[in-house]
Structure 1
Amino acid sequence: MSLPLDVRAAVTAIEARTPAHRDRAVDGLRALALLSVPAGHWLVGGFTLDETGALHNASPLAALGALAPASWFFQLLGIFFLVGGYASALSLRRARERGTGSGAWLRGRLLRLGRPVLGVAAGWAVLLPLLSLAGVPGATLRTASVLVVQPLWFVGVYAVITALTPYALRAAERAGLWSALPLLTAVAVVDALRYGPFAEAMPSWLGLLNLLPGWLFGYQLGLVWGVGRLSRRAAGWLLLGGGAVLFAVLLTVFGYPASMVGVPGEARTNSHPPSLLVLALAAAQSGVAVLVRERLAALLARPALWAPVVVINLSAMTILCWHQSAMLAAAIPAAALNGGAAVAGLTADPATLGWVALRLLWLPLFAVLLLGIGALTRRFEQPWVGVPAGRRALAGVLAAAFSLYTFAVV
C-alpha cells in the first residue's frame, strides 16, 4: 500500500534534509527509548476512584507481580543515556573544532532541556486552578501533580550529567571502557551497605549516593562509544554478556526486586534511586545497541522508516514532559462524567489481567491526545526568539507557582 501524497512529500523532504553523515542507528535507538517512556508509564500508571470520585495512583504490578519482567523491556533509560552520551561526545567535539567553548556549548544544551520543563510547569500552574473551579477534587489534582512531576526528575538528573560532560569525555578519551568501572563500583558499594548485613545501621538517605553514578554509567558508556572506543563487536558482547550475568546473579542470588520501576507497598525499588540491577540492565542494553547498530542503520536507510524517527527525536522533550498529561486528559473527564463509576482499563482498579488488556486498548487514545497536546506545546522546544521578556517572566512565575504547589502537596 502506497503512502498518501502529502505524507510521501514529507518523507521525501525529511530524507533530502538528512546529512549523509547522520548516524541513523543512534537516532533510531533514541526514538525507541523515547517511546518506551510513555508506553511504560501508560501501562503501569493505573488509577483507583474513591467515594468522592477522586483519582488516586495505582499500579498493576502491586497485584500482578508476575508481570514485573515486562518492565525489563520498557525501562530503556540505559539506552537513552547511552545515546545521549554518544551525541554529546560528537557535539562537544564539533563545538570545540568551531572554536566554541565548553561553557557556551553547555548553556545551549541546558536551555534546550529547560524550556520544555518551564512550559509544562507553567501550563499546569494555569490548569490546576481552572480544574479546581470546574469541580475537580483536590485529591485528583494532587494525583495529577505527582504524574506530571514524575518524568521531570529525569530531566534534572540529565542536566547535571550533561554539565559533567567535559570531564567525563576526557575520562572516556583516556581510559575508554574502563572509565565506567568506578561508577559501577560506587553503586555496588552503596548497595552492599544499604542491603548488606549492616543495612539496619545505615542512614535512610544512603541510596541517594547512587543517583549520580547510577545514571552517569550509561551516559559514560555513550561517551566511550562516541570517541570510538566502543565500536568493536567484542566490546558489545562483553557488555551484553557481563550485564546479563550480573543481572541474573543479582536477581537469583541477592534477591533484588524483579521490577525495574517502583511498586506501591514494596520496601525496595530499583530505579529511585538506581540500584546495581539498573546498571546491569543498562550494560546489557548497551551491548545490544552496539551489536545491532549496523543492521539498524541499514533498516533506517529506508526513507519511510527514517521519517518517523526524525519526527520523534524532534519532539523528544515534548513527549517526555507531556505524556502523563495526555493520560490525565482522558482519566480526569472519565472520572467526572461517568457518574462516579470506574471506567474499565482507565479509572478502574488495575488488579487483573483484564485491566491490562483493556489498558492496551486505551493507548491509541492517549497517543492521539499527546499528538494534540504536542501540537500546542512543541513551541517550548524551539528557541524563544522574539518572545517578549514579559511573557518569559510570566512563564517563570507560573512555573515557580507550580513548583511550590508540588512541594507542598506531593
Structure 2
Amino acid sequence: MSAAAGLRRAAERIDRRTPAHRDRAVDGLRALALLAVPVGHWMLGGFTVDADGGLHNASPLSKVGALAPASWVLQMLGVFFLVGGYASVLSYHRRPGSAGAWLRGRCARLGRPVLGVAAVWALAAPLLYAAGVPEATLRTAATLVVQPLWFVGVYLVVTALTPYCVRAARRLGGWAAAPLLTSVAVVDFLRYGPFAASVPGWVAVLNVLPGWLFAYQLGVAWGEGRIGRRGARLLLTGGAVLFAVLLLGFHYPASMVGVPGAARTNSHPPSLLVLALAAAQSGAAVLLRERLARLLARPALWAPVVVVNLCAMTVLCWHQTAMLAAAVPGAAFAGEVAGLTTAPDSAAWIAARAAWLPVFALLLVGIARYARRFEEPWRRVSAAWRAAAGLLAAGFGAFALGLA
C-alpha cells in the first residue's frame, strides 16, 4: 500500500468514527486559531547572536513595519476565545456532575501539559548550561517557553466565569459582551487620553479580564443560540469600522503583537483595537460556519483538524521549544544562519524564515510524539511524581518570571 493510500484510509477511518453530532465547523475554527499561534510566533519572532554565541529575542516588526498587517491575520486569539466560549457552554450543559467538578476537570486538562513542559525545561536548563549553552540563550529560551503560557491562566479564569456568562447571554444575548468593550474603552481613554500623565501604570491591568472575556462571552451567546447571521454581520461590520477608526483616527499601533522598543502595545494588556479585531473575526466565523462545515465533511480535510485538536495543548506548550531546537544548535555550530539566527531586519529575512517553517513543524511533530502524553490523565503517575513535577514547574516559572 502506498503512503498516499494509507493516509486516505486513515482519514476515512477518522471520518467514520466522528459522532454525527460533532460540530466540525467549530473544531475547524479552533484548529485554525490554534495553528496561528505557532506560525505567528515563528514568523514574528526572531533572534540575534551576541559575541559569545548567546541568542537574544528580536522581532522583524521593529525594522519591517509593513509586516504589521500580517499580525491582523495571525492574531486569532479572538477566534480561539469565541470557540472556547461556544464549546464550554455546550460542555457545561452536558456535564454529568456539579459545576465545581466540571471546572476541576477543565483545570486538570489545561494544567497537565503546562506542568509537563515547565518540569522538562527545569531539568533541561541546567544540563544545557553544563553542556556549554550560553546563559543568555537559556534566558531567552525560558522567556519564549513561558510566553504562550499566560494564555492558560487567563483561559482558566474566563472558563470559571462560564455560569455567569450563560446567565448574561440568556438575558442579553450577544449584547452581554458590550459592557466588556465599554470597560476596555474607558481604560484605554485613561491610559492614552488627555489625562494619561496622571494615570498610574497599573490601570492597564484592568483590561486583562474584560479584554479576553469579550470574545468568550460572544462564544457563550453563540452556543446559547443568541447570535445569528444578523448579529454576525453586525459584529463583522462594526468591528471592522471600529478597527479602522482606531487605527487611522486615534493612531493605535498597527501591530497586534508587542514590538520591542515601542511605547504602546495592543496585546499586553489587550487594547480596544484587539476587541475590534476580535469582533470582526467573530462575526466572520459565525457567517462562515455552514460553509466550513461543508468543507470539513471531506475526510481528507477533517482528519488534520481532529489531529490538531487532539494535540492542542501540546502545540501551544511546545512550539517555541521546536523553534529553539533548531536555533540553539544553529547558533552553537554555525553562528548566524539566514532566517534562523540572523537579525530579522529585512524582507530577505522574512523569506528565509518562511523556508524554516517546515523544519520547525517537523521538529514539533517529533516532540509531540513524546510530549502528547502530558495531555492524558495521569492515572498511573504517583503522588510523589506529581509533587516533583509541580515543584520543578514552580522553580522554572520563578526563574522565567525573574527575567521579566
2:268 maps to 1:272 = yes
Please, what is the CA RMSD of the aligned residues?
Answer: 1.0
User: Deviation per CA, 1:179-214, whole angstroms, max 9, x where unpaired?
Assistant: 101100000000001000000000011111000000
Distance between the aligned counterparts of 1:403 and 1:260, measured in 2? 26
Match of 1:351 among 345, 357, 366: 345
| Distance in 1 between residues matched to 2:155 and 2:253, nearest whole Å | 25
Q: How does 1:308-319 map to 2 (within 5 A)?
A: 308-319=304-315
Residue 367 of structure 1 is matched in structure 2 by 361
Alignment of 1:50-199 (within 5 A): 50-95=50-95, 98=96, 100-199=97-196
Matched, 1:321 2:309: no
What displacement does 1:31 show? Answer: 0.3
Counterpart-to-counterpart distance in 2, 1:352 and 1:101: 55
Q: Which residue does 1:236 correspond to in 2?
A: 232
Q: Cα deviation per residue 1:221-258 (whole Å; 9 max; x = unaligned)? A: 0000000001x211111000000000000001111000
Aligned length: 403
Q: How far apart, CA to CA, are the structure 2 residues paired with 1:157 and 1:325?
A: 22
List gaps (5 residues or longer) in structure 2.
none
How high is the sequence identity, in percent, across the aligned residues? 69
The counterpart of 1:287, out of the listed 283, 306, 315, is: 283
What stretches of structure 1 move > 3 A for 4+ residues in a row? none
Q: What's the CA shift for 1:363?
A: 0.3
- Structure 1: stretches of 5+ with no match in the other structure: none
- Report if aligned partners of 2:188, 2:272 keep a CA contact under 8 Å in 1: yes
CA distance in 2, matches of 1:399, 1:3: 40
Following superposition, the deviation at residue 136 of structure 1 comes to 0.6
Distance 1:382 1:247 in 2: 40
Amino acid at match of 1:389: A
Deviates most, 274-283 or 392-401? 392-401
Q: CA deviation at 1:87?
A: 0.1
1:18 matches 2:18: yes
Residue identity in the other structure for 2:209: L
Taking structure 2 as the reference length, the TM-score comes to: 0.98
| 1:409 has 2:403 as partner | yes
Q: Deviations over 1:132-159 (max 9, x none)?
A: 0010111110000110010000111101
Distance (Å, rounded) in 1 between the aligned partners of 2:380 and 2:234: 50
The AA in structure 1 aligned to 2:6 is: D
Between the aligned partners of 1:364 and 1:25, the Cα distance in structure 2 is 26
1:3 deviates by 6.3
* Partner residue in 2 for 1:246: 242
Q: Which amino acid aligns with 2:338?
A: A
- Separation of aligned partners in 1, 2:391 and 2:207: 32
* Distance in 2 between residues matched to 1:149 and 1:58, nearest whole Å: 16
CA deviations 1:313-333 (Å, max 9, x no partner) are 000000000000000000000
Aligned to 2:42: 42
CA–CA distance in 2 between the matches of 1:36 and 1:3? Answer: 28
* Aligned-partner residue type, residue 364 of structure 1: P
- 1:255 has 2:240 as partner: no
